[in-house]
């Protein structure tokens, strides 16, 4: 039995509530396949979901001419609850189909970030609605938000993407896990909080879910982190004629490919960086990057990319 943290990518959940309800049924099958042979902790992304919640809140607040109502951290908490419910529900159904008895529990997870993280000086992650330049300037002045032009489509609010320092519910996660539960934690990278004068406070930021999954894996003492995404393997020269799918990367190789710019910002690059942070955290730690439906084959060493 290996102790494994799984990070579920966007394709495990889909983009809309209806898509998600369907997608999690398939996802739950892969998860329970893995859970039959291993001890699992599950983490997941929330990009489309938190975007949807944030947009809905924006519209509600615009209708009231008040943007000051629903902080982004709260939107993240809502997304954890809603995705956690769908995952729990689908996993419970799959377990009962197989006559397996296991607790399934999702934990609303706060993740400590450093208030001096360099990311706060350069907000980079676009969230919420598109605005004209004039509208964005008005909102920026009134609420102190930062806006950036987003790929010719208009102006969007941007928030920082700091690194996770600690997961505040780690004790609950470990205790439930040790009691045999299938724990879902750190969803959407976790709700970012900073500590100020001894008090924890949610901040408007997005933590990359791949980094939080790596942190979670270290904190619970997992031996393997599996990042399940839309591709079976990691490639070098991705999308080019000389594309090459990689089965195994040493730390040195991964570092070299990173330096060569082989992995796209915002998609594969954070996964490789997160993988390295976990592999470097403890001797013997390994990372597998593969797709959801190849997870079992990947574990057998038949496909996927191993790092470490």
Residue that the structure tokens 């009962």 belong to: 96
Which of 20-28, 105-113, 212-220, 234-242 is the region at the interface with ligand ADP (rule: CB under 6 A)? Answer: 234-242
Catalytic, 248? Answer no
| Nearest distance in Å: CB 137, ligand ADP | 31
Q: 215, 271, 298, 304: which one is catalytic?
A: 271
Catalytic, 209? Answer yes
According to CB under 6 A, which residues from 267 to 296 bind ligand ADP? 267-268
Name, in order, each residue with C-beta under 8 angstroms of 301's C-beta and a sequence gap of 6 or more.
none
SS3 content of the chain, % helix, strand, coil (to 5): 45, 25, 35
Catalytic, 286? Answer no
Residues 204-233, one symbol each (x = binds ligand ADP by CB under 6 A, - = not), give -------------------------xxx--
Q: In 3D, which of 230, 221, 216, 150 has the Cα closest to residue 184? A: 216
Nearer to ligand ADP, 194 or 304 (CB): 304
Calculate the alpha carbon distances from 229 to 148, 210, 287 in Å. 28, 11, 13
Catalytic, 271? Answer yes
Which one of 110, 204, 262, 273 is in contact with ligand ADP (CB under 6 A)? 262
Nearer to ligand ADP, 135 or 232 (CB): 232
Nearer to ligand ADP, 59 or 230 (CB): 230
Calculate the alpha carbon distances from 228 to 7, 158, 270 in Å. 6, 27, 13
Q: 9, 46, 84, 125: which one is catalytic?
A: 125
Nearer to ligand ADP, 155 or 211 (CB): 211
The residue nearest ligand ADP at its CB is: 9
According to CB under 6 A, which residues from 3 to 32 bind ligand ADP? 9-10
Which one of 234, 249, 275, 288 is in contact with ligand ADP (CB under 6 A)? 234
Tokens of 21: 């309800």
Instruction: Please check whether residue 266 is in contact with residue 205, taking contact to mean a CB–CB distance below 8 angstroms.
Output: no
Which one of 24, 41, 45, 83 is in contact with ligand ADP (CB under 6 A)? 45
The three-class DSSP label of residue 288 is strand
| Nearest distance in Å: CB 162, ligand ADP | 18
Name, in order, each residue with C-beta under 8 angstroms of 159's C-beta and a sequence gap of 6 or more.
72, 123, 125, 127, 146, 204, 205, 206
Tokens of 145: 């938000």
Q: 9, 10, 14, 47: which one is catalytic?
A: 10
Catalytic, 10? Answer yes
Q: 14, 45, 209, 215: which one is catalytic?
A: 209
Number of residues that bind ligand ADP (CB under 6 A): 14
Name, in order, each residue with C-beta under 8 angstroms of 157's C-beta and a sequence gap of 6 or more.
126, 127, 128, 136, 139, 145, 146, 147
Name, in order, each residue with C-beta under 8 angstroms of 278's C-beta and a sequence gap of 6 or more.
214, 217, 218, 225, 285, 287, 308
Nearer to ligand ADP, 58 or 262 (CB): 262
What residues are annotated to the active site? 10-11, 125, 209, 271
Footprint on this chain of ligand ADP (rule: CB under 6 A): 9-10, 45, 229-231, 234-235, 238, 262-264, 267-268
């Amino acid at each position: 039995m290996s102790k494994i943290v799984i990070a579920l990518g966007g394709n495990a959940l889909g983009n809309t509530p209806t898509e998600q309800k369907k997608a999690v049924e398939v996802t739950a099958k892969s998860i329970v396949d893995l859970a039959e042979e291993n001890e699992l902790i599950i983490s997941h992304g929330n990009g489309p979901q938190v975007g949807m919640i944030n947009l809905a809140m924006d519209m509600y607040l615009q209708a009231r001419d008040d943007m000051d109502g629903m902080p982004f951290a709260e939107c993240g908490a809502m997304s954890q609850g809603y995705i956690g419910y769908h995952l729990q529900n689908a996993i419970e159904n799959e377990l009962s189909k197989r006559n397996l008895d296991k607790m399934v529990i999702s934990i609303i997870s706060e993740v400590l970030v450093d208030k001096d993280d360099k990311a706060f000086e350069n907000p980079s992650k676009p969230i919420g609605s598109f605005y004209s330049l004039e509208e964005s300037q008005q909102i920026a002045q009134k609420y102190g938000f930062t806006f950036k032009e987003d790929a010719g489509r208009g102006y969007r609010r941007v928030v920082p993407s700091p690194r996770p320092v600690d997961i505040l519910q780690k004790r609950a996660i470990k205790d439930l896990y040790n009691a045999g539960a299938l724990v879902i934690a750190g969803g959407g990278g976790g709700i970012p909080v900073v500590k100020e004068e001894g008090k924890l406070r949610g901040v408007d930021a997005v933590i990359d879910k791949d980094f939080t999954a790596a942190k979670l894996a270290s904190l619970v003492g997992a031996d393997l982190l599996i990042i399940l995404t839309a591709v079976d393997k990691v490639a070098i020269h991705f999308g080019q004629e000389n594309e090459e799918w990689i089965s195994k990367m040493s730390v040195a190789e991964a570092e070299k490919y990173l330096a060569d710019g082989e992995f796209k910002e915002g998609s594969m690059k954070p996964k490789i960086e997160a993988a390295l942070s976990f592999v470097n955290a403890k001797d013997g730690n390994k990372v597998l990057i593969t797709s959801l439906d190849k997870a079992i084959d990947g574990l057998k060493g038949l496909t996927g990319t191993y790092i470490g």
